Structure 1
Amino acid sequence: MPADLNDFFKKRKDEEEGSNMPEFMKDFGKKATYIYVIIVLVILLIIAKPYEIINSGEVGIKVTAGKYDPIPLEPGIHFYIPGIQKIIKVDTKVRIINYKAEKEAPSFGALREGIIEKPAIEVLDARGLPVSIDITVQYKLNPQGAPQTIATWGLTWEEKIINAVVREVVRNVVGRYKAEELPIKRNEIAKLIESQIREKISSLPNKPVTLVAVQLREISLPPKIKEQIERVQIAKQEAERVKYEVERARQEAEKRAALARGEAEAKKIKAQGEADRIMIEAKAQAQANIVIGKSITPELLQLKQIEVQGKFNEALKANKDAKIFLTPGGAVPNIWVDTKDKQKATSVGR
């Protein structure tokens, strides 16, 4: 049989067998290529991960062939081309740098939930004595200018902006004072440090960072200065105690003097009242005497003489041997009648 005839029958047989296949098998064969392509793409997406999810409190910066896109990516899912592009996520929430002593912060430089711990800032005072300053700085990255900030300062922008400025300002401000002045002028120093840090950060191009707060927590002085300050404080306390005692004694003296003045014034008022009473009584008696003197008339005297003469006559009638004594005094004399029997002596008065 010729070869072309064999091919004809074979082809016809294959067509007959294919016509007996189920319809879904025929469709699967046609779509298999597309399914394989989709599966491969999914696997590539999983392996290459050409996307990034931006969370709230963050912004994304898309970098294409080393060039930073000036528009930050908002929270959500964003795709990029692996190998050509990448997305950098930066935190825009409030962050904190704590500068404090080693004994309180063993893991300096470690980042914990937006908190960076660093050693206390060592400063030399106006006389060159070492002083340690504990301070807390709160700040946050400006979201809109984040791409420009990262492009200019890099991912270590906190070290170059916040840390550098804080250390410079603290050293400049504290270095103006003597160590023993620092505790006394603490509030003044804290205000100067905060105002100068704000001024320096605000003056940076494009205002990359917003300063939230600066808190001066502790000033650690050299042991000798501490002892000197303690001695001064003890002396001041003693002086205040003495001053208090002196003031208390003065007040007690004033109180006693006031009481004495009060008693003297009371006695004076009493004596004045007694004198006034005597004077009033004397005046009244004198007035009475004047009235009585004015009331004695010749007729009244004559009447009194008659009364006395009557009593004299009565006495003679009772005892003819009686001795009569006239005691002058006033308008009417006293008359004493003395009998031989002294027990019967009588007195005739006016």
Structure 2
Amino acid sequence: MAQRQFEFPKVGLLIPVVVVLLILFAKSTVTVGPGEGGVIFETLGEGINTEKTYGEGFHIVAPWNKMIVRKVRQQSISDEMNVLSVNGLEVKVNGTIWYEPEFENLGSLIKTKGEDYERELLDPAINAAARSVVGRYTPEQLYSSKRDVIEQEILDEVTKLLEGQFLTVKRVLVEDVKLPPTIKQAIERKLKQEQESLEYEFRLVTAQKEAEKVIIDAKGKAESNRILSASLTDKILQDKGIEATVKLSESPNSKIIVIGSGDSGMPIILGNQ
């Protein structure tokens, strides 16, 4: 009995120790999900450790440190910006930009720009690039024919602004350009008139080409007849007539009577049935 009384206190002390160890272990484990990366914030050190980025999977971290997990796959944000065209007209541009943090430099990105680096870094760069590029064009160009060019120019501008900032922009899409209703209607009327003018011009060109074709065909036929007429003599015509008469006389559906000859020397055929 004395031995049992001596063991019970040991068991009672072991349980709290196990509980504490389990809590410390739970606080020391971090799972980085698909498409994510993690960096360590060293509470007793110099803050963000910029030397290593942790990839997907299960990781053990000292309980006094913190793992900051952020998405490192390609992401997108959309925004509507009020910008001025080249003639000072205010337009609204709806756009989407695709970007991704540099995985190896995630620690440097968070250390220099904070965890909310999209708001601190990406938003100002997009707005500055959009204002710079859109300000080069007229409302008509923005509304119709320059969309692809504008997207590429904004991408180039954003890339320059973010150079060396550990954030890569992949693509820019200008989804919509909103103009004041009166300006939009004026542009649409002008575009419609231009389209109708092009259609009318096309019909004129087509008609002219058809007329030229008819003239060429007529000239060709006239020249052919002139050459044929020049080559036909009375002797040739007489021989052709005799050949035709012979073929007609051989037809089973005809009865032919030849009496004398005509003024041209050709036989006179009577009695066709």
| TM-score > 0.5 by shorter chain | yes
What is the distance in 1 between the residues matched to 2:206 and 2:72? 61
What is the distance in 2 between the residues matched to 1:158 and 1:236? 43
Deviation at 1:220, TM superposition (A): 2.2
Contact 1:61 1:69 in 2 (8 A): yes
What is the distance in 2 between the residues matched to 1:94 and 1:234? 41
- Give 1 or 2 for the bigger CA radius of gyration: 1
Q: Deviations over 1:255-301 (max 9, x none)?
A: 22123213322331232123xx24899xxxxxxxxxxxxxxxxxxxx
Deviation at 1:86, TM superposition (A): 2.4
What is the distance in 2 between the residues matched to 1:131 and 1:188? 17
1:35 aligns with 2:14: yes
Q: What is the identity, as a one-letter code, of the residue corresponding to 1:195?
A: D
TM-align CA RMSD: 2.7
Contact 1:80 1:87 in 2 (8 A): no
Q: What is the identity, as a one-letter code, of the residue corresponding to 1:229?
A: I
Is the alpha carbon distance of 1:45 and 1:280 closer, same or farther for their aligned partners in structure 2, counting shifts above 3 Å?
closer
Is the alpha carbon distance of 1:273 and 1:126 closer, same or farther for their aligned partners in structure 2, counting shifts above 3 Å?
same
What is the distance in 1 between the residues matched to 2:67 and 2:225? 101
Q: What is the identity, as a one-letter code, of the residue corresponding to 2:208?
A: R
- For 2:158, the equivalent position in structure 1 comes to 197
Q: Which runs of structure 2 are paired with 1:203-242 in the superposition (5 Å)?
A: 203-204=163-164, 207-242=165-200
Is the alpha carbon distance of 1:248 and 1:80 closer, same or farther for their aligned partners in structure 2, counting shifts above 3 Å?
same
Q: What is the identity, as a one-letter code, of the residue corresponding to 1:72?
A: T
- For 2:38, the equivalent position in structure 1 comes to 60
What is the distance in 1 between the residues matched to 2:235 and 2:53? 109
Which structure has the higher relative contact order (CA within 8 Å, separation 6+)? 2
- For 2:113, the equivalent position in structure 1 comes to 153
Contact 1:138 1:214 in 2 (8 A): yes
Deviation at 1:53, TM superposition (A): 2.5
Is the alpha carbon distance of 1:243 and 1:144 closer, same or farther for their aligned partners in structure 2, counting shifts above 3 Å?
same
Q: Deviations over 1:76-125 (max 9, x none)?
A: 222323xx4322222212111022xxxxxxxxxxxxxxxxxxxx111111
- For 1:85, the equivalent position in structure 2 comes to 65
**Structure 1 regions of 5+ residues with no counterpart?**
1-16, 100-119, 282-350
1:72 aligns with 2:53: yes
Is the alpha carbon distance of 1:259 and 1:36 closer, same or farther for their aligned partners in structure 2, counting shifts above 3 Å?
closer
Deviation at 1:138, TM superposition (A): 1.0
Q: What is the identity, as a one-letter code, of the residue corresponding to 2:107?
A: P
Q: Deviations over 1:195-248 (max 9, x none)?
A: 1111221x23xx411222222222222222222222222222222222122222
Is the alpha carbon distance of 1:56 and 1:254 closer, same or farther for their aligned partners in structure 2, counting shifts above 3 Å?
closer
Identity, in percent, stands at 25
**Structure 2 regions of 5+ residues with no counterpart?**
238-273
Contact 2:36 2:71 in 1 (8 A): yes
Indicate the SS of the match to 1:225: helix
Deviation at 1:43, TM superposition (A): 6.1
